[in-house]
Structure 1
Amino acid sequence: MFERFTQSARTVVRDAVVTAEELRSDAVDTRHLVVALAEGAVAVPGPVATALRSVGVEPADVAAAARSAIAAGAVLDGEALASLGIDLDAVRDRADAVFGPGALERAARPRRRRARTRPFTGDAKKALELSLREAIRLGDRSIDAPHVLLGVLRADSPGGRVVVALAQDAGSDLVAVREALERERPAA
């Protein structure tokens, strides 16, 4: 399947791995793919940026929302701490005051002594497989960045839900995002 990926799609996959490493995630999921797609669209505007903007969504906002979703998945469990009589918000406020914003979240993620490859989660694997199915459905011979985002959206995954939520906030919907991606993809 990867032999059908264009350079831009390969860059998305590579950048998703880099994002997972940067954010100290244990695995690469669809939110990492969305960060890579959106940040790539900001750096080098192309079909993904054009499609997102056509439905009222800025790629930079998508990247920020996906990064926030990743961070939210790695936060401490406030309810569990409250059951022990610990106010997580008070601890977070004090840690931020002493060590800077986000100190508690940074400390909560274990540091790795050596680099290791990060596996792809089931939803990321499914999204990449669905990107191939999207390319085939559209009669395209190769898989490009828009196909990857179509696969993420079709997988009904956490990364796709980030994009859909922003589209809905902009007065659009999943169907409009998919149609815009199909319209803006590179010629087959």
Structure 2
Amino acid sequence: MFEKFGKNARAAVIATQEQAKLLGVERIGQEHLLLGVLAEAEPDLAAVFTARGVTADSARATLAQRATATPLGTDDAEALRSIGIDLDAVQASVAENFGADAWDRAEPEPKRGVFGRLLGANWVHIPFSTDAKKSLELALREAILRKDREISSTHLVLGILRAAQPTTVDLLGGHDAVSGLRADIHGMLDRAA
């Protein structure tokens, strides 16, 4: 399918992989695909996003903040406590049974890709998640629906918006913003045609 991608869409997918590496994620999610598109957006598409207050820098900052946030905060601890689970007791038990640094050791070391092993480099292949793959498939469908010959970065955005996941919806400003953005992008494409 990658052969059907236009120059800008290819650049966006490559940027997606680079952004995911910089963020240190294990899987490329739909939100990282959006970040790649934002990072490589052509002027008309960038203008549509900017008009809605969405930029590559703001999305990257939000994703970086979420990556470093405590996985279980006070709201989570309270929710668990309401069903009879004491998070502090669980953490203390893990530390007692597996060592004080058990939480830090819980993340496995990333595996090097085949080329990284061959070349001795720290190249790491990050696989696409199911929702990111679905967005790529939906981008192809959007291109077919519009009778376009190749998948553009605009089709990537439409694919993302068609099945937007909660993180992506939050990055874009909510469900109403997703609907409005989809309409704005279709309008942009119609004016260009």
TM-score by length of 2: 0.67
Structure 2 residue 188 is matched with structure 1 residue 184: yes
| Cα shift at 1:149 | 1.1
CA offsets 1:110-166 (integer angstroms, 9 cap, x no match)? 5547433111110000000001111112222111111111111111224531343x2
CA separation of 1:144 and 1:24: change in aligned 2, threshold 3 A: same
User: Which residue of structure 2 aligns with residue 160 of structure 1?
Assistant: 168
CA separation of 1:60 and 1:19: change in aligned 2, threshold 3 A: closer
CA separation of 1:151 and 1:85: change in aligned 2, threshold 3 A: closer
Name stretches of at least 5 consecutive residues in structure 2 with no aligned partner: 78-85, 93-103, 113-122
Structure 2 residue 36 is matched with structure 1 residue 36: yes
Q: Does the 8 Å contact 1:131/1:143 carry over to 2?
A: yes
Q: Does the 8 Å contact 1:130/1:151 carry over to 2?
A: yes
CA separation of 1:14 and 1:75: change in aligned 2, threshold 3 A: farther
| CA–CA separation in structure 2 for the residues paired with 1:66 and 1:163 | 8
| Cα shift at 1:76 | 3.7
RMSD: 3.1
| Cα shift at 1:175 | 2.2
Which has the higher mean CA deviation after the structures are superposed, 46-55 or 109-118? 109-118
Which of residues 118, 122, 125 is equivalent to 2:126? 118
Q: Does the 8 Å contact 1:38/1:63 carry over to 2?
A: no
| CA–CA separation in structure 2 for the residues paired with 1:54 and 1:136 | 27
| CA–CA separation in structure 1 for the residues paired with 2:185 and 2:8 | 15
| CA–CA separation in structure 1 for the residues paired with 2:23 and 2:54 | 24
Which amino acid is 2:51 matched to?
S
Q: Does the 8 Å contact 1:135/1:147 carry over to 2?
A: yes
Which of residues 82, 87, 95 is equivalent to 2:88? 82
User: What is the correspondence of 1:66-81 to structure 2 with a 5 Å cutoff?
Assistant: 66-69=63-66, 71=67, 75-78=70-73, 79=77, 81=87
CA separation of 1:142 and 1:187: change in aligned 2, threshold 3 A: farther
Instruction: From the CA coordinates, give the structure whose radius of gyration is larger.
Output: 2
Structure 2 residue 155 is matched with structure 1 residue 147: yes
Q: Does the 8 Å contact 1:135/1:142 carry over to 2?
A: yes
Structure 2 residue 173 is matched with structure 1 residue 173: no
| CA–CA separation in structure 2 for the residues paired with 1:124 and 1:66 | 16
Which amino acid is 2:44 matched to?
P
TM-score by length of 1: 0.69
The size of the alignment, in residue pairs, is 161
Identical aligned residues as a percent: 31
| Cα shift at 1:108 | 7.6
| CA–CA separation in structure 1 for the residues paired with 2:23 and 2:107 | 9
| CA–CA separation in structure 2 for the residues paired with 1:48 and 1:110 | 38
Name stretches of at least 5 consecutive residues in structure 1 with no aligned partner: 87-105
Structure 2 residue 50 is matched with structure 1 residue 53: yes
CA separation of 1:159 and 1:183: change in aligned 2, threshold 3 A: farther
Which amino acid is 1:177 matched to?
L
Q: In structure 2, the residue corresponding to 1:53 is in which secondary structure?
A: helix
